Chain A
C-alpha cells in the first residue's frame, strides 16, 4: 500500500468484453491509475449474482494495485436489479460450466492485452464462484494463480452431475496449471470438511502446489461482511491477509 505522501487513485466502471462464444457481456472493471505495469485479477462472482459485494471487492483489489475485472456471468439472462436476474438464472438451473469458463477466459485475455498489464493474471471466486475459479484454472489458459473461497461442488456425486455441470471439477485436478490458495470454514456444509480434505488429497496426489487453510467456527461465506449471520471477523481478516500475500507472491 502507498505511503501517506504518495499519490493514490483508482477508476471503476462498467465495460463490455467478449465472453464465451464471442458474446458481448458486461464486466465491472476497476484499475489503479498509472502506467503500471500491474498484475491482474479476474473475480468470478458467486451464485447470488453480480452483487454489491463483488463490485466492492473489485474496487478493493484495484486499490491494492490489481487490474481487476468481474464479468457479469448472468448478462445473457436479461437486466434489472441483480437479485431479480439471479432468481431467473437460478430457476433455469444456473449457468453452464462451459459458459463460465468461456466468460472468464475472455476476461483473462482482456486483462492480459492491456498495456498496463505485467503479464500475470490471477482468478478468484467464492461459493459457486470458487468452484468456477477452479474450473477456469484447470480448463482455461493463462492463469498464474487461483484462489478458491469455500467453493462448493468441487467434489460432486455422480447423481449431481447435470448437462450444465457434466464433470466434477476435482476430476480436472491433473490439469491445474497454477498454484492454488483455498480458504474454507470447518463448519461449512458445501463444501464439507471431508470434501475439502478430498480436494487437498487430489492436489497432493497430482503433485500440485497448494495452500489450504481451514477456519474453526466459520461456515459458508465467512468473509461476507454484509451477511452478519455468516461473517466471522477474525477469520475474514486473516483470510484477506492470505489473499493479498498469495497474489502478491504469485502475480508479481
Chain B
C-alpha cells in the first residue's frame, strides 16, 4: 500500500472472470504499483464477487487511460439518462 490510494464502491452486475460469468458486488479503484503494466504506478480497477472477494475482473491502466475511460463513461451515462427520460 505504497500510495494509500484506494477507494471501494458497491455495484450490481455481472463480470466475466477466469471461471466465467459471476455476480460482481464491489469495485476497487486504486492507484498503486501494478502487477503487470510496465509502469511505476497505475490505476487499478477490480470488479469482485460478494462471497470471497477473490474472484475478480481486473485491469491496470495509465492515468490518461483512466481519464479517457471516465470521460467515456460520463458521456455514455448522459446519453443513457437522455434515452431513459425520452422513452
Chain B binds chain A:
yes
Contact with B along A155-184 (1 / 0, CB 8 A): 000001010000000000000000000000
Contact A85 B54 (CB under 8 A): yes
Q: Does B1 contact A (CB under 8 A)?
A: yes
Tell me, rounded to whole Å, the shortest Cβ–Cβ distance linking B33 to chain A: 6
The interface on chain B, measured as residues whose beta carbon lies within 8 A of the other chain's beta carbons, has a size of 24
- Which of A78, A219, A230 contacts B54 (CB under 8 A)? A78
The DSSP consensus for interface residues of chain A is: loop
CA distance A80 to B32 in the complex (A): 21
Q: How many A-B residue pairs have CB under 8 A?
A: 70
CA distance A190 to B6 in the complex (A): 17
Contact A87 B28 (CB under 8 A): yes
Tell me, rounded to whole Å, the shortest Cβ–Cβ distance linking B51 to chain A: 10
Residue of A nearest to B1 (CB): A94
CA distance A173 to B33 in the complex (A): 27
Contact A91 B33 (CB under 8 A): no
**Interface magnitude class on chain A:** 20 to 34
Contact B56 A87 (CB under 8 A): yes
Residue of B nearest to A79 (CB): B54
- Which of A79, A93, A128, A220 contacts B6 (CB under 8 A)? A93
Residue of B nearest to A83 (CB): B35
Contact B8 A91 (CB under 8 A): yes
Tell me, rounded to whole Å, the shortest Cβ–Cβ distance linking B40 to chain A: 6
- Which of A47, A80, A83, A219 contacts B2 (CB under 8 A)? A47
Q: 18 other contacts beyond A47-B2, A91-B53, A221-B33, with CB at 8 A cut-off?
A: A47-B1, A79-B54, A84-B54, A84-B56, A84-B58, A85-B54, A87-B46, A87-B48, A88-B48, A88-B54, A90-B32, A90-B44, A91-B6, A93-B1, A152-B2, A153-B2, A190-B3, A221-B40
